Chains A and B, each alone.
Chain A
Amino acid sequence: MLRKGIALAVFGLALVGTPALAATTSEEPKDIHWSFEGPFGKFDAEQLQRGYKVYREVCSACHSMDLMYFRNLGQKGGPFYDPKYPNPIQNPYVKSLAADIKVKDIDSETGDDIQRPATPADKFPAPFPNEASAAASNGGKAPPDLSVMAKAREGGPAYIYSILTGFVPPPRGLNVMAGRYYNPYYPGDVSSFWTGPKDQVPKGGFIAMPPPLAPNKVTFDDGTPSTVANEARDVAAFLAWAAEPKMEERKEFGLGAMIYLLIFTGLLYASYRRIWRDVSH
């Protein structure tokens, strides 16, 4: 929200406010610091590596990431980038990560469906064959694809972090349906499930995802304590990278472009003053 606010202030048009909604409410996402914030911010490769592990071992059981290829993990700016292998498909670590996962293929000779170890050129396989089966296995609601999740929600990675760490017992007086979980950071309208005073309807909504993280659910190779907060922060950072893998390249390019533009503008101003100096206007 802060980023958006600054952007709009610069734009000089305070036209797009946050629509205060009559029915749908949620808590503002938790304020959390990210290494990739700001004009010089970069992703923390180790955090992305831990985040990938959380995705792989926890989230990927239900959530697809169908825009992601294993090669992305080894590309410049990615979690497992190695300058020795500028083409990520040759990166042996990425190859071994891919080979851990089985993907569907068709045998080129027999035409049969087969499972084979993935290569860096393969997409992350989806946990369910189609949306209907994903919904059927998850209480009627298909788990959303996570490829660009960090761009698809107001608040981005902070929203993801808040959801993952925001599960609380429902307030007294709130009836929660079976198979749904109360989360104050999830946008929703719980007023029809609320038996308390009408002007004190709790913020938030019911999410179909049970609390996915737990302490020590993932073992981090670098010894980072495996708390829910750490797991959530790392996977949110990983998803932020996955949504915008060219962010570092963009900021670097932008810095150069901006410096050039400023110098160019200065030169043009000098030129302008020189040409106009004898004209009374």
Chain B
Amino acid sequence: MSGHSTYEPKTGFERWLDMRLPIIRLAYDSAITFPTPKNLNYWWTFGGILALCLGIQIVTGIVLAMHYVPHVDYAFNSVERIMRDVNYGWLIRYMHASGASMFFLAVYVHIFRGLYYGSYKAPREVLWILGCIIYLLMMATAFMGYVLPWGQMSFHGAVVITNLLGAFPLVGNAITTWLWGGFAVDDPTLNRFFSLHYLLPFVIAGVVALHIWALHVPGNNNPTGVNVKSKADTVPFHPYYTVKDSFAIALFLILFAFFVFWFPNALLAPDNSVRANPLVTPQHIVPEWYFLPFYAMLRSVPNKLGGVITMFGAIALLFVLPWIDTSKVRSMRYRPTMRLYFFIFIAVCLVLGWCGAHEPADAVIPNVTTFTLGDYDLNSMVWLSRVATLYYLAYFLIITPVMGLTETPLPIPESISEPVLSHPASGPVAAAAATKKG
């Protein structure tokens, strides 16, 4: 990939293979000797965690597909058969179901890390866009996977989300009919969702390969945002980051296991244990937690098409972020004002999620009625999500470009090693290293 290779084939076979398909060289250069900034913190371990999540979802998913039946009459029972009769079926299904939530948890941390440390800025725009594509594919995959157990929430969730596309003028109805393969969500819909749910993870894996490729051209960003200047700034990926990533993965697996073994149903709606019934809608339709912020944005606009455009626009903004951001400084460590706006942005995303879990008319402060503004009382989830949606949009469209031009950043270190080497608290090892170097 980048830089010259230090791989030296040791055996005759390796030399023979290296002349024909330098695959060992590729693995060696990208996973062993790859020079990695030595100051990466734990937020950087989520890349490895996400690779593991994708692996778990693919392996458990292939196994589940051996037992699952994509037919409206059998889907629910086949999932229950997995839970009851298949050897360790409960384990594999709960890993897959909780795994989806864990995957999204990790991807959100990964995205926010990239936002905070400016990992999307030149020369990493393509890397960032590939990541956004992965995120979109994950959302599509998760949505279609949720339909497969054919419970009440599966069915009516599918109805609501597919109807979103009906918002587009002229072609909307044609699109939904085409997507359904009929006049409602039914057996043809379930079958094609199963097919695509099986396919998309492999597409994700392909884009992940490109994502890693695009990472290995400029190399990792780091918490200072300063480019790697010399070899002293880096350590080889193995063993330094293999062991650090592994440790973080183990911590992550503890959280994962906690859900799989003790709270497997905590993140699943009880209504999905009721067989799908097209004639009765559950009392409250709520998407999975990882979609809630977008769901709140959708409902905050009192116009169907407007809501859909706002929701998709919120994601589209991520794609163009590298060109919206005018700041030359990557890391928000050195941008105290922007950092403040960023923390508000995180809070706003959480608030949007919270609003998405409630009915639009629900009071934010319980039992308080203020005055009706437009369609709802001011003290309502819908008004809170309107304010939050505005902040979300403003963060990208106003705050990010304006702050980059107006703020005065803190002094930026010369190199990655500099802040460490000049820092007295680093202890005798660092001092010794500095002396040795001098």
Q: Direct A–B touching in the complex (beta carbon < 8 Å)?
A: yes
How near does chain A come to B392, taking the closest CB pair, in angstroms? 16
**CB-defined contacts of B289 to chain A, threshold 8 Å:** 13, 15-16
**CB-defined contacts of A249 to chain B, threshold 8 Å:** 90
Of the candidate stretches A53-61, A101-109, A146-154, the one touching chain B is A146-154
Of the candidate stretches A161-169, A217-225, A227-235, A273-281, the one touching chain B is A273-281
B361 is an interface residue with CB less than 8 A from chain A: yes
Contact of B270 among A14, A152, A280 (CB under 8 A): A152
How far, in whole Å, are A245 and B420 apart by their CA atoms in the complex?
A: 56
**CB-defined contacts of A262 to chain B, threshold 8 Å:** 254
**CB-defined contacts of B21 to chain A, threshold 8 Å:** none
How far, in whole Å, are A257 and B262 apart by their CA atoms in the complex?
A: 12
A21 is an interface residue with CB less than 8 A from chain B: yes
How far, in whole Å, are A97 and B172 apart by their CA atoms in the complex?
A: 57
Beta-carbon contact of B362 and A19 below 8 Å: yes
User: Interface on chain B toward A: helix, strand, loop, or mixed SS?
Assistant: helix
Contact of A3 among B84, B90, B263 (CB under 8 A): B263
**CB-defined contacts of B255 to chain A, threshold 8 Å:** 10
Beta-carbon contact of A265 and B91 below 8 Å: no
For B, the interface residue count at a CB cutoff of 8 angstroms equals 61
How near does chain A come to B346, taking the closest CB pair, in angstroms? 11
**CB-defined contacts of A22 to chain B, threshold 8 Å:** 359, 361-362
Given known A15-B357, A17-B358, contact A280–B421 (CB-CB < 8 A) = yes
Beta-carbon contact of A280 and B350 below 8 Å: no
Contact of A10 among B253, B258, B362 (CB under 8 A): B258
Given known A14-B354, A272-B244, contact A7–B261 (CB-CB < 8 A) = no
Contact of B420 among A7, A265, A281 (CB under 8 A): A281
Q: Which residue of B lies closest to A265 (CB)?
A: B250
Beta-carbon contact of B243 and A279 below 8 Å: no
Given known A67-B77, A265-B254, A268-B246, contact A153–B270 (CB-CB < 8 A) = yes
How near does chain A come to B81, taking the closest CB pair, in angstroms? 8
Beta-carbon contact of B357 and A281 below 8 Å: no
Name B218-276 residues within 8 Å CB distance of A. Answer: 235, 239-240, 243-244, 246-247, 250-251, 253-255, 257-267, 270-271, 273-275
A-B contact pairs, 29 of them (CB 8 A): A6-B263, A11-B105, A13-B350, A15-B292, A15-B356, A16-B292, A17-B357, A17-B358, A19-B358, A20-B366, A39-B262, A67-B80, A67-B84, A144-B274, A152-B270, A152-B274, A254-B260, A265-B254, A269-B247, A272-B244, A275-B239, A275-B240, A276-B243, A279-B38, A279-B240, A280-B420, A280-B421, A280-B434, A281-B420
8 further A-B contacts with Cβ under 8 Å, apart from A250-B261, A275-B240, A278-B429, are: A7-B259, A10-B258, A11-B105, A13-B350, A15-B292, A39-B262, A253-B91, A265-B251
Ranked 6 nearest A-B pairs via Cβ: A254-B261, A280-B430, A7-B266, A152-B273, A7-B263, A265-B250
